[in-house]
Structure 1
């Protein structure tokens, strides 16, 4: 197993809630920000979901067979690469750096079992660890009924086992407020050597909850994102184990 930045210790737990909205807002370079407060969506549980799949050009892209050199092989049906053959080598994880109004800082992530708490500080909860890009993906819940206790949240995605693969995957982070349209941020830029991406910042600006697109790829892990945004945490090497929450 490979290693990457992580805080030591932590406990695992489960939480599940939230519902999908019927329409969506896509945050892009030309439209990077939206106010949850102005959309009357700054209460209840905000559900943040990461889903991803292999890019179609990487599934079976190298399996074309020459009709002239191998006439019988060319008649065989193409081999379909499933989770066990292709996606198992790419493990995207969802995390959140948080800073509360009282100055408390920390991280919610699968590594180390730092899954957070939705009804107590930091009011951020990770549902578990999806290692294979399943349909449900990974989900973080934020209790916006405690929005006055939250200063800023940085939602990020990183790649486990030191295998750069953002150029091989198509990932989407979707925010589902308790009211109004969902908010989508696509990670479509090809950064083949990047291992982490700061996706979106949720910030309390004078009582207004603002969601801002970041989509900043870095070559390191959480420690580099920390330095980029000035969180000031201390990081060490961490591992995933077979007992990780899935």
Structure 2
């Protein structure tokens, strides 16, 4: 068995999945998994986003060239180049949180809201990968503070001026301290989507964390996901250097 660190670094030669018994893949027919015992209350929960880009398809292929629009700023995205050249995709891993005391917020690259493990929200993003490197993007959740959590929405959004989700092979993997790792594939065709609610983590207050697959694509950004899940935050447009909470803007 490989270490969590080796797995998160992207060593796929041994996929932490000996005999298939150390991995749970959440699907539409099997959307939920519970983390219980010491795995739900000690150490860290690791969440990793890894993706690779599909090659651009030639005109006339099943994924013919399209133009996609942000409905709010009405600016077309650049069409992919014909042929087999890879397309550039910048996916961002993020988390909306609601704590037990009612505090709500977001951890994301936009606004450099990378979070903190030792102070609220007890969630920290390792950094911002813009290329789909083997290590991807990793988020850590401090389970020593599990009682402070009510719910965590893990989501992925596409940063400004990049192709849509159907141009990528993206996987979100959740790795507890013990027990199986949990895998959620973002493999549904959603050519116009700019954001995806991937998984909802809820604390039942009785020592169990429920991990529920969502994989709900929206055409908009963080504010649209917020409305969908009722976090009730105020959002402003911004770039990765802007103050936040922010979402991709014009």
TM-score range, shorter chain: 0.7 to 0.9
What corresponds to 1:232 in structure 2?
Answer: 232
- Note the residue ranges of structure 1 that are not aligned, 5 or more in a row: 1-16, 64-78
Q: Distance in 1 between matches of 2:213 and 2:147?
A: 21
Scaled by the length of structure 1, the TM-score of the pair is 0.77
Please provide the CA RMSD for this pair. Answer: 2.1
Structure with bigger gyration radius: 1
TM-score, length basis structure 2: 0.76
Assess if the C-alpha contact under 8 Å between 2:110 and 2:241 holds in 1.
no
Residues 37-72 of structure 1 show CA distances to partners (whole Å, capped at 9, x for unaligned) of: 16x4212100000000113xx25x549xxxxxxxxx
Residue 48 (str. 1) matches residue 47 (str. 2): yes
1:34-183 to structure 2, matched below 5 A, reads 34-37=33-36, 40-42=38-40, 43-55=42-54, 58=55, 61-62=57-58, 81=85, 86-87=86-87, 89-183=88-182
Structure 2: distance between partners of 1:140 and 1:160? 18
Distance 1:203 1:18 in 2: 23
Deviation at 1:162, TM superposition (A): 4.2
The aligned length equals 202
Higher relative contact order, structure no. (Cα contacts within 8 Å, ≥ 6 residues apart): 1
Query: How far, CA to CA, are the matches of 1:213 and 1:195 in structure 2?
Result: 18
> What is the deviation of 1:80?
7.3
Shift in Å, 1:205: 1.4
Match of 2:27 in 1: 28
C-alpha distance in 1, partners of 2:110/2:43?
27
- Structure 1 residue 90, shift from structure 2 partner: 1.3
Query: 2:112–2:241: 8 Å Cα contact kept in structure 1?
Result: no
Question: Contact conserved, 2:147 with 2:205, CA < 8 A, in 1?
Answer: no
Q: Which residue of 2 aligns with 1:184?
A: 183
Residue 66 of structure 1 is matched in structure 2 by none
Secondary structure at the residue paired with 1:203? strand
Q: Any gaps of 5 or more consecutive residues in structure 2?
A: 8-15, 60-82, 243-250
Contact 2:203 2:209 in 1 (8 A): yes
Q: Is the 8 A contact 1:164 1:194 kept in 2?
A: no
